Amino acid sequence: MGNERLRGQMRLCGMSALDLATALAIDPKTVERWLDRGRMPRQPQRSRAAEVLDIDETYLWPQLLDDERARSASRAEVEAVYPHRGAVPLDLWRRLLESTEHHIDVLVYAGLFLVDTHPDFPGLVAQSASEGLEARLLYGRPDSDVVTWRGQEERIGAHLSARIHLALASVESLIGSQGVAIRLHETVLYNSIYRFDDQMLVNTHVVGSPAPQNPVIHLRRVPGGHLFEHYLSSFDRVWEMSKPLEVPLRDGSVGAWDAASTT
């Protein structure tokens, strides 16, 4: 039996088997087997194909929902669930910051608590980056509509924009550092994401409740798991839509941080 969901989504995206194969750097015959024979791709290929086609992989391959091994792997990914961000042990944040060697990804509006609780956060990132780590830091654009909306919805108004300015000022020294990229986004966030190599803390967002009061999920990447890759894919999508942070202006205005176009 063929995979009509995959075929239909490719059609919606205007992609042929050759187009998808090229995007995934695989043989077009492999994609044809997915389409015509219903073959199940390996996990990295599934995740990448779903990302390219802008849809969840469980829609393209619903049998994943019935795969006991996949369910078991996803359960194994969950290290802990904390009722609110304050319940996450401070030493856990510290261990993750100090032990990460390859990738730090941060997606927040402000995330000011990182430097409030770890004033040496920029220095740790800079030192690790000098040793080969790649850091991607995503902050909300202070003067964007989504930041204004979130500030009102959290009942803190312009204080959210002010907190973003403070967070950006704290990482200003990292601008231009090798291995460090800082961008601004204008995306409605459903979660704040903190990725440290193969571990991740996902701070859920709840309407009417500030991020510190919302649950945090601690994930660890495991072979065959879905959750870690799912959230990482979400991070990547926001990253692609964001704009690089350049030299901050000094006039103190709401839009005092210049974001160049991504073109």
pLDDT digits 0-9 by tens, 64-119: 766 655 556 667 899 999 999 999 999 999 999 999 999 999 999 999 999 999 99
CATH 2.60.40.2220 assigned to 77-244: no
For the chain, the structural domain boundaries read 4-66, 77-244
Residue 91 to residues 115, 119, 151, 208: CA-CA distances in angstroms?
A: 14, 14, 29, 29
User: pLDDT class for 32, splitting at 50, 70, 90?
Assistant: very high
pLDDT at 253 over 50: no
What pLDDT score was predicted for residue 214? Answer: 94
pLDDT at 254 over 60: no
Q: Residue 114: beta bridge partners?
A: none
pLDDT given at position 171: 93
**89 neighbors 243 (Cβ within 8 angstroms):** no
- pLDDT score of 155: 77
Question: Looking at the domain covering 4-66, what would its CATH class be?
Answer: mainly alpha
Distances (CA, A) of 62 to 4, 21, 39, 74: 12, 21, 12, 15
pTM, two decimal places: 0.72
Q: Please report, in angstroms and rounded to a whole number, the separation of the first and last CA atoms in the chain.
A: 42
Do the beta carbons of residue 53 and residue 78 sit within 8 Å?
A: no
> Are residues 149 and 109 in contact, defined by beta-carbon separation less than 8 angstroms?
no
